[in-house]
Amino acid sequence: MHSLAETQGLFRRAITGGPAGDLLALVRTPGDAAERLGIYRRHHRESFRRHLRGRYPTLEWLVGTPGMIELADDLLEAHPPRAPSLAEYGEGIIDLVRDRGTQHPSWLTDVARLDWHLGGLSVSVEHPPAEIAALAALDPAALPDASVTLQPGLVYLQSEWPIDQLVHLRLTGGAPAELRFEPHETFLELRGNRGRFSMNRLSHADLTFRQGLKDGRTLGDAAQPAFDVASDFDLGTALVRIFTDGLVVAIQHTKGNDLD
Amino acid sequence: MHTVSAAPLRAGVGLRLQHLKTVLDTRPEAAWFEIHPENYLANPHAAEMLFEIARLYPISVHSVGVSVGSAEGVDRRHLARIGALIDRLNPILVSGHLAWSTHEGDYLNDLLPMPYTQEALAHVAAQINQVQDALGRPYHLENPSNYLGFKDSTMTETTFLAELVERTGCRLLCDISNVHVSAHNLGYDARRYMDEFPGHAIGEMHLGGFEVEAEDSGSSVIIDTHSQPIDDHAWDLYAYAVERFGMRPTLIEWDNAIPSLETLLEEAGKAEAVAMRTLAGARRALAG
């Protein structure tokens, strides 16, 4: 008699594409045992394919369903999920696309990254935004040391290609017979809230500033790299815009004092 | 143990993500809803709607990821995550499967079959105790739908379930459709299985649709797809179970090719009608 652990090891190997002979010797069924085992194998494979195809709709639109299935199968074999929350599984597709090098166009990795983030942030829940009065209440001398908490459903993405165009084309069903897709430095703010998402193009400096804030830097520390990429970066305007865009949830002075 | 509200002796429906907004917008007449907690762990938007629904309707929590049958034991981190959700929902019932889904830390996304041995019994009992201790609530264990069994099994599934009830004090979720599916697939009599089922421990029943596939050998296998209306065989077996054990909170499960909420509620209404008709018939027989 095999131990429970041994039996499950054989079962797992059999349904994930490994040899099934040792397991088939352990099971009984009125039907054909290999055929019955095939039901479990099929479910295992198909359920992950379905999930990963749902997480990468634009990638699948571009590489085709067979290509997406191949990526899904490769990910499942190399990096099976480690937790029973499927929504959190599949980010590894991005690395798989990147690692295929010349097999795919270089921008496809960025498309995969965009897909992954849009799926995740669209189910986030925004908090009531902070009023700009909270900023005005701050001692101007203390401003560089203040930091802000941004909405949870924000991701900043930079690509050498206008990858947001591809998502728009897919969503609007307006794919032309032939697309002239050329490099164009693109700085994207992805924002999601309660089942919806938006993609806003920013300037390089604004993206750098907002990314810094999201990473938890103080206003002063987030502004410096923005000035580095654009000497004419207007910090005052940028600061007002993060409030008027409703991005700020709270503002903290140094030592984490919450001002709103 | 937490204070748990009594589950209504009525039929509820499995609440899937696509129906959350409809429930909030239309406030349908529904006795109760059952959710899969795994769908809410990384979905704050869905969780927000669920908490609102939980203020309006009784909620049952049915985990598909607490793998009490895995030889490596339950994933404590996952258990803690669903425990936190359960604490916020204060559900009427908490349930999961007699199955295993993880191996060496990898999640296989299926409810895989167990051999019914003394070793497995001791192991699953220990896991159920751990789950009940962590959640502070009785756990309802569901009989599986199987496509094959194990030569090593030394007891029947019903004996295995009865022993688990005895050792852990857990409750049982009797999935009527699973009984029909497994009985067909493994070649035993579904009614005899129900006769041997530890009915006193049943806290909930499930009904789900399935599909019949032809096999190369010329026979057929029933796949537990939850993608169809409840089959007449399952309705007949449900009536048999109600006659034998009485009415229990009963759930309509539909997880693939999910229809409108209205259709699900109609199926729930049908379940209540079958139960009422069965009980009325039993009362008449007693009176006569």
Considering only the beta carbons, identify the residue of B77, B104, B108 that sits closest to A44.
B108
Residue B279 near chain A (CB below 8 Å) = no
Contact status, residue B207 vs residue B251, Cβ threshold 8 Å: yes
Contact status, residue B186 vs residue B215, Cβ threshold 8 Å: no
pLDDT at residue A18, rounded to an integer: 93
A83 and A145 share a domain?
no
The alpha carbon of residue A195 is apart from the nearest alpha carbon of chain B, in Å, by: 7
Across the range B20-39, mean pLDDT stands at 98
Helix (H/G/I), strand (E/B), else coil: B252: strand
Kindly determine whether residue B42 and residue A39, on different chains, have CB atoms separated by under 8 Å: no
Answer yes or no: is A234 within a domain. Answer: yes
Given a cut of 60, whether residue A138 has pLDDT beyond it is yes
Phi/psi at A72 (5° precision): -60, -45
One DSSP character per residue, A8-30 reads HHHHHHHHTTS--HHHHTTEE-S
User: Which range is least confidently modeled, A76-80, A252-256, B23-27, B247-251?
Assistant: A252-256
Contact status, residue B38 vs residue B97, Cβ threshold 8 Å: no
Answer yes or no: is A116 within a domain. Answer: no
| Cα–Cα dist B252/A229, whole Å | 59
Range of the domain at A172: 126-260
* Residue among A51, A123, A197 with most chain B CBs within 10 A, to mutate: A123
Q: How many CB atoms lie within 10 A of CB A95?
A: 14
| Number of domains observed in the structure of chain A | 2
A132 and A93 share a domain?
no
pLDDT at residue A259, rounded to an integer: 52
Copy the structure tokens of residue B8: 């209504």
Given a cut of 90, whether residue A192 has pLDDT beyond it is yes
Per residue in B123-159, pLDDT tens? 999 999 999 999 999 999 999 999 999 999 999 999 9
The alpha carbon of residue A223 is apart from the nearest alpha carbon of chain B, in Å, by: 31
Given a cut of 80, whether residue A254 has pLDDT beyond it is no
Per residue in A205-242, pLDDT tens? 999 999 999 999 999 999 999 999 999 999 999 999 99
Confidence of residue A31 (pLDDT cuts 50, 70, 90): confident
List the one residue out of B44, B151, B175, B207 whose CA is nearest residue A152: B44
Domain final position from A73, A104, A135: A104
A253 and A136 share a domain?
yes
Answer yes or no: is A114 within a domain. Answer: no
Across the range A129-152, mean pLDDT stands at 91
Across the range B222-250, mean pLDDT stands at 97
A96 and A139 share a domain?
no
ipTM more than 0.85? yes
Confidence of residue B4 (pLDDT cuts 50, 70, 90): low
B37-41 own/partner pairs: CB under 8 Å, 24+ apart: B37/B61, B37/B62, B37/B63, B37/B65, B37/B81, B37/B82, B37/B85, B37/B86, B38/A84, B38/A85, B38/A86, B38/B63, B38/B64, B38/B65, B38/B82, B39/A87, B40/B85, B41/A85, B41/A87, B41/A88, B41/B81, B41/B82, B41/B85
Considering only the beta carbons, identify the residue of A12, A32, A195 that sits closest to B103.
A12
Kindly determine whether residue A87 and residue B77, on different chains, have CB atoms separated by under 8 Å: no
B99 to chain A: closest CA residue:
A8
Given a cut of 80, whether residue B2 has pLDDT beyond it is no
pLDDT at residue A187, rounded to an integer: 98
Across the range B223-232, mean pLDDT stands at 96
Across the range A41-64, mean pLDDT stands at 96
List the one residue out of A253, A219, A251, A248 whose CA is nearest residue A235: A219
Domain final position from A43, A73, A104: A104
pLDDT at residue A258, rounded to an integer: 56
Kindly determine whether residue B149 and residue A82, on different chains, have CB atoms separated by under 8 Å: no
* Residue among A16, A43, A46 with most chain B CBs within 10 A, to mutate: A43
- If one compares B12 and B6, the residue with the highest pLDDT of the two is B12
Beta-bridge partners for A132: none
Given a cut of 80, whether residue A102 has pLDDT beyond it is no
Per residue in B167-199, pLDDT tens? 999 999 999 999 999 999 999 999 999 999 999
CA separation, residue B38 to residues B45, B82, B91, B161, B225 (Å):
14, 7, 15, 25, 19
User: Which range is least confidently modeled, A51-55, B121-125, B214-218?
Assistant: B214-218
Fold of B31-169: TIM Barrel (3.20.20)
A132 and A95 share a domain?
no
Residue B127 near chain A (CB below 8 Å) = no
Answer yes or no: is A212 within a domain. Answer: yes
Confidence of residue B97 (pLDDT cuts 50, 70, 90): very high
Q: How many CB atoms lie within 10 A of CB B233?
A: 18
Contact status, residue B51 vs residue B100, Cβ threshold 8 Å: no
Kindly determine whether residue A9 and residue B105, on different chains, have CB atoms separated by under 8 Å: no
Given a cut of 90, whether residue A175 has pLDDT beyond it is no
- What ranges do the domains of chain B cover? 31-169
| Cα–Cα dist B288/B283, whole Å | 8
Beta-bridge partners for B62: B95
Q: What is the mean pLDDT of chain A?
A: 93
Helix (H/G/I), strand (E/B), else coil: A31: coil
Kindly determine whether residue A39 and residue B152, on different chains, have CB atoms separated by under 8 Å: no
| Cα–Cα dist B246/B240, whole Å | 9
pLDDT at residue A255, rounded to an integer: 54
Report the greatest alpha carbon distance in chain B: 59
List the one residue out of B258, B83, B64, B110 whose CA is nearest residue A14: B110
| Cα–Cα dist A93/A72, whole Å | 7
Token pair 């815009």: residue: A241
β-pair type (B202-208, B171-175):
parallel
pTM of the model: 0.93
* Residue among A2, A4, A51, A88 with most chain B CBs within 10 A, to mutate: A4
pLDDT at residue A139, rounded to an integer: 87
Residue A206 identity: D
A160 and A63 share a domain?
no
Q: What is the mean pLDDT of chain B?
A: 96
CA separation, residue B154 to residues A1, A36, B116, B142 (Å):
11, 21, 6, 20
Answer yes or no: is A65 within a domain. Answer: yes
Kindly determine whether residue B219 and residue A31, on different chains, have CB atoms separated by under 8 Å: yes
Answer yes or no: is A112 within a domain. Answer: no
pLDDT at residue B61, rounded to an integer: 98
